[in-house]
């Protein structure tokens, strides 16, 4: 997989995951659009002004054609206006107008994108509210996790959740509108899934009992956004993404998917399927919170909680059924169904029990339409970092790492899906501006109290509906702003309605595990450490960056292998080393401009490095065992000499006997060309050399 053929299967935003493949200029295959087989006949498309097959002509003339003409007239009128010229719609007269972009199509695409993203308003607020922000939870807590001052804490918690609903909708609307105006790309932005869980359950902690106060965590998010801006402006952002081993990037996505799955199964933000135990880390749950023991285990009624079952059946199985038929907004439909069943009072699954907390929620829910201003999460940064230096840096680097990979992969795939990629540059128009808008939105989001903002892969739904310009993102942004006035609805979505959403998102993220390089132990072990340590340590940071993390394991293991190979003169080579995933700190493509200032050439030239440096060096292209692809020396500058022949592709190690030549009467078999391993999404030209003529000294 390389920059010319990207398949994107990401659940970065949570929700529907779309498979997108760009097969060349002007061609995009999206959801529910399989490529026809070469011998498959393509049905005829009716000519303009003609009814589709099976539609009576009289019905078409009386009802369909007038509507079609009306829509066409609106499109033509607005496409030719200043709006059409600004967004380069079809017929606008702009030199770079987009041939398949129409005004009403962009409106429909924006509504579709919002429908697939609307769940983030409730889910993000529910996750972040678990931190409590400035609500004080007095000890001791009971077996159900209730504070000693539970009534006061619940009242404060509800206010925090309302603030976060407003903040999530506001920052999603603002960032999507700004992104559409400045980049003219059909991509919407919102607080991303995964990072909100890391922010809540690792950095700040439930009830604020994590590594640092929420004020310090919001400061880390704020600074991370501006660091992202600097990296984008200097060109280092793209370079950093491409030097991270592709197998580690894939494994981190899998690990975050497992992490979200575990959260979705928990009691605090999910359906309550699993709970903590004493003799084992986890135990089966499924009972009501009232049936939990002081140790957190179910004393009775295991798997008998009706709220859990309504979440599984309606929010999980039914949603999966809709997704199997590519029903747009399947996750939104599932959340809405479970919520609607949980809103009536005096039922076993009600979200408004006859308690003080339930009565307060019910009174607010009855308002339906109400605007709640942000009161407790606005401008809460703490700039004095005394005592939190190391933990602050770790949190900020983790936010930055995930944001860079997530944003880069999503934006590139969305641009490619909408046919915006410039094939001669392997980039898309206004890419630096796009990354800067995303980064500034991260810092602005921190000011209103939310976790990092990122581009959503659900934008692919709008692109599949015909969205090609920034109008799609702007329409989606205005829908988010409109939702500000329906806070009572979004605040009354119960956790068992969104728990299966997290599980489904995790499932869709985990399926990229097949793209990990399982052939070589130097790639397998770091990948496995990454994707297991994230959920089992309940920390994205420890799985990615900390000691014993995936990157640490990758660097340590492969450095030891390089030392042994270097000291032995490449005579001692690990088993299956030829299947190693290619890595270099000088990826193919243009150098960052900040590096070009101090160097001569504009591009990394891997092939020249191969010829200039025949020895092995860790992370370079000069390893004779890890080329992508090997190129014979260039003798074009030497006089014709029949004695000059290119050296063998894999020279035999010293003192190792060469195989005997075949008899003269026997034809030598022609070995097939070694297949090249497809490049990873970061653009590295990875190779998996399988040449049969490669001789290695046996170990021992």
pLDDT of 169-212, one tens digit each?
999 999 999 999 999 999 999 998 878 988 998 889 988 888 89
pLDDT of 211-261, one tens digit each?
899 999 999 999 999 999 999 888 888 787 778 888 888 888 888 888 888
Judged by DSSP in three states, 125 sits in helix
23-27, 112-116, 651-655: lowest mean pLDDT where?
A: 23-27
Helical segments of 537-592, H only: 540-544, 550-567
Question: Average pLDDT in the 513-539 region?
Answer: 89
What confidence category does residue 501 fall into, taking pLDDT thresholds of 50, 70 and 90?
confident
Between CA 522 and CA 576 the distance in angstroms is: 10
- Comparing 604 with 679, which gets the higher pLDDT? 604
Question: Average pLDDT in the 538-542 region?
Answer: 71
Between CA 14 and CA 124 the distance in angstroms is: 10
Between CA 5 and CA 38 the distance in angstroms is: 19
What lies within 8 Å, CB to CB, of 699 at 6+ separation is 572, 575
pLDDT for position 403: 84
What token pair was written down for 470? 């920034």
pLDDT for position 644: 38
Give the up-direction half-sphere exposure of residue 240: CA atoms within 13 A in the CB hemisphere.
20
Work out the angle at residue 362's Cα, subtended by the Cα atoms of residues 360 and 364, and round it to the nearest 5 degrees. 75
pLDDT for position 425: 57
**Mean pLDDT for all residues in the chain:** 77
pLDDT of 427-443, one tens digit each?
788 888 999 999 999 99
Per-residue b or e along 5-23, where b marks 16 or more CB atoms closer than 10 Å to that residue's CB: ebebbbbbbbbbbbebbbe
Most confident segment among 58-67, 290-299, 367-376, 684-693: 367-376
Question: Average pLDDT in the 528-555 region?
Answer: 79
Taking the model in full, what pTM does it have? 0.66
pLDDT for position 547: 54
Q: How many helices (H) and strands (E) does the chain have?
A: 25, 9
663 pLDDT exceeds 80? no
202-206, 275-279, 644-648: lowest mean pLDDT where?
A: 644-648
Contact between residue 273 and residue 286 where contact means Cβ atoms under 8 Å apart? yes
pLDDT of 330-387, one tens digit each?
888 888 899 999 999 999 999 999 888 788 889 888 888 889 899 999 999 999 988 8
pLDDT for position 441: 95
């Amino acid at each position: 997989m390389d920059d010319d053929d990207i398949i994107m299967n990401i659940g970065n935003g949570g929700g529907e995951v779309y498979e997108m493949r760009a097969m060349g200029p002007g061609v995009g295959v999206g959801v529910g659009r399989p490529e026809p087989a070469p011998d498959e006949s393509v049905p005829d498309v009716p000519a303009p002004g003609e009814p589709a097959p099976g539609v009576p002509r009289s019905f078409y003339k009386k009802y369909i054609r007038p509507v079609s003409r009306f829509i066409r007239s609106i499109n033509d009128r607005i496409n030719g206006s200043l709006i059409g010229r600004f967004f380069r719609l079809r017929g606008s007269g702009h030199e770079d107008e987009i041939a398949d972009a129409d005004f009403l199509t962009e409106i429909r695409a924006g509504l579709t994108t919002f429908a697939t993203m609307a769940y983030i308003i409730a889910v993000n607020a529910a996750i972040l509210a678990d931190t409590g922000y400035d609500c004080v939870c007095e000890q001791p807590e009971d077996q159900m996790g209730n504070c000693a001052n539970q009534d006061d804490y619940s009242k404060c918690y509800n206010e925090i959740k309302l603030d976060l609903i407003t903040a999530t909708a506001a920052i999603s609307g603002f960032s999507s509108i700004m992104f559409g105006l400045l980049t003219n790309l059909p991509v919407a932005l919102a607080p991303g899934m995964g990072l909100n869980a890391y922010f809540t359950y690792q950095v700040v902690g439930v009830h604020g009992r994590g590594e640092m106060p929420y004020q310090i965590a919001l400061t880390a998010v704020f600074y991370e956004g501006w660091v992202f801006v600097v990296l984008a402006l200097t060109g280092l952002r793209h370079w950093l993404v491409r030097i991270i081993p592709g197998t580690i990037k894939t494994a981190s996505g899998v690990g975050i998917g497992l992490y979200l799955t575990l959260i979705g199964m928990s009691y605090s933000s999910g359906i309550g399927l699993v709970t903590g135990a004493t003799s084992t880390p986890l135990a089966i749950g499924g009972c009501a919170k009232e049936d939990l023991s002081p140790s957190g285990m179910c004393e009775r009624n295991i798997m008998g909680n009706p709220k859990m079952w309504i979440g599984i059946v309606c929010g999980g199985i039914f949603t999966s059924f809709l997704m199997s038929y590519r029903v747009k907004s399947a996750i939104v439909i599932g959340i809405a169904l479970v919520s609607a069943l949980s809103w009536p009072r005096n039922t076993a699954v009600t979200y408004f029990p006859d308690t003080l907390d339930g009565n307060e929620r019910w009174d607010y829910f009855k308002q339906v339409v109400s605007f709640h201003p942000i009161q407790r999460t606005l401008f809460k940064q703490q700039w004095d970092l005394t005592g939190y230096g190391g933990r602050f840096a770790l949190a900020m680097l983790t936010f930055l790492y995930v944001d860079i990979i997530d944003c880069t992969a999503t934006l590139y795939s969305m641009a490619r899906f909408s046919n915006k990629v410039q094939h001669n540059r392997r980039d898309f128009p206004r890419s630096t501006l796009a990354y800067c808008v995303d980064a500034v939105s991260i810092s602005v989001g921190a000011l209103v109290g939310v976790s990092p903002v990122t581009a959503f892969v659900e934008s692919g739904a709008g692109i599949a509906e015909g969205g090609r310009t920034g109008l799609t993102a702007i329409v989606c942004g205005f829908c988010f702003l409109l939702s500000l006035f329906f806070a009572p609805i979004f605040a009354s979505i119960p956790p068992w309605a969104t728990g299966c959403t997290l599980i489904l998102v995790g499932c869709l993220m985990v399926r990229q595990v097949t793209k990990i390089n399982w052939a070589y132990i130097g790639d397998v072990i770091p990948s496995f450490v990454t994707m297991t340590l994230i959920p089992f340590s309940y920390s994205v940071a420890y799985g990615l960056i900390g000691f014993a993390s995936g990157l640490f394991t990758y660097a340590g293991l492969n450095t030891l292998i390089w030392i042994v190979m270097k000291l032995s003169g490449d005579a001692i080579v690990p088993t299956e080393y030829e299947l190693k995933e290619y890595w270099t700190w000088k990826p193919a493509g243009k150098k960052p401009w900040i590096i070009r200032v101090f160097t001569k050439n504009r591009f990394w030239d891997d092939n020249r490095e191969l010829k200039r440096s025949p020895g092995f060096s860790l992370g370079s292209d000069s390893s004779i065992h890890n080329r992508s692809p090997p190129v014979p020396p260039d003798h074009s500058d030497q006089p014709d000499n029949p004695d000059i022949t290119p050296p063998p592709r894999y020279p035999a190690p010293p003192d190792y006997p060469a195989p005997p030549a075949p008899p003269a009467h026997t034809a030598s078999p022609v070995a097939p060309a070694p297949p090249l391993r497809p490049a990873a999404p970061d653009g590295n030209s990875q190779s998996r050399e399988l040449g049969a003529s490669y001789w290695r000294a046996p170990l021992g």
